[in-house]
Each structure stands twice: as structure tokens, then as C-alpha cells.
Amino acid sequence: MQHCCNMEKDFAFYGCLYFLIQQINIKMKFLKLSIITLLTLGMFGLGSCKDDDDDHDDHDHEVTIEIVSPANEATISDCSNVTVEVNIITEDEVHEAEIVLHPESDTSDKIIDFDEHSHESSVEFNQSVDLCGYDAGTCFHLEVSVCKDHDCEETETEEVEFCLE
């Protein structure tokens, strides 16, 4: 009878131990699930704040390009002092602006090749150039391109053509 009681005690002990192990397993699964959930939410939270402290965003901004001079299809009489004046205004900042002046017949002969990345909302460009080294009647192409977003996926472009008298 002693032996039987020991078996019952052993059975009760192992039953109790089994129950405790099951409870610990349940709590460990819950803990693992909680940790995985917190990590996942943390990654989404960090991803959503990726550029919060950066003033750049990826949507397009309104860009206004005003070529003040020379006028389109103008005929320039004084080749020694041709003024190129351009105003660029954006809603955000000038992510990338390029101003290029070249003879119509030779795009590689860049008289003006200006690049600007500014954290200001506007850029004013004013430069005088001497075009007397070119023949009378030579026509020139002035092109202004501005990125509408920080990645420069879209650009705004204005251009004029003018000729020497």
C-alpha cells in the first residue's frame, strides 16, 4: 500500500510538473509573440518617420522659371554685353537648377553652364557675356531646367532662342 501511495504522489507530482511546464510554455509563446509584435510595430514606426527630420519630400513642387533676358526670338545688336537674367521660384527649395547657353549649331560649345542646388526657395541668375567672337547672324539657345522634386524625377524647362544682328 505504501508503494501505491508513492505512485499516487509521483503521479500527482509529475502531473503538477506537467501542468507548470504547460503554463510556462504558454507564457513563453505569449512572450515570443509579444516580442515579435513589438519588433514589427517598431520597424513600421521607424519606417514611417524615415525623413521626418529631413526637409526634403518626394512630391513635386510648383516651379516658376522666368527668363527676363534675352527675350525669345530677340535680335541682339550689341554682342559685347549680352545680359542673361533668369529668376527661379519654387514652393519648397531649388533642388537642382541648370542654365545652359550655347550656339544653336553647337551644343558642346557651352558659353554658360551653371548648376545650382540651393536650399532657398528662389535663385536669381544674372550674367553678362561677350558673344562678339561669333559671326553676325549666329543664333543661340538658352535653356533653364529645374527639378520639381529632390530626386529630380520630373523637371520644369524654359528655353529661348536669340540671334546676333
Q: How many CA atoms lie within 13 A of 55 on its CB side?
A: 9
Once rounded to an integer, what is the mean pLDDT over residues 31-56? 59
pLDDT band at 12 (very low <50, low <70, confident <90, very high): low
pLDDT, one tens digit per residue, over 95-142 is: 899 999 999 999 999 999 999 988 888 999 999 999 999 999 999 999
Fold classified for 63-164: Immunoglobulin-like (2.60.40)
- pTM > 0.75: no
Residue given cell 510538473 in the structure block: 17
64 vs 10 pLDDT, higher one = 64
Nearest CA-CA partner of 65 in 141, 140, 122, 26:
122
Sign of the CA dihedral running 103, 106, 110, 111? negative
**Going by C-beta distance under 8 Å and a sequence separation of 6 or more, which residues neighbour residue 163?**
74, 75, 76, 137, 138, 139, 140
pLDDT of residue 26: 73
List the domain boundaries for the chain.
1-50, 63-164
Distance CA 76, CA 128 (A): 13
- Concatenated DSSP letters of 9-77: HHHHHHHHHHHHHHHHHHHHHHHHHHHHHHHHHHHHHHHHTTTTTSS--SS---EEEEEEESPTTEEES
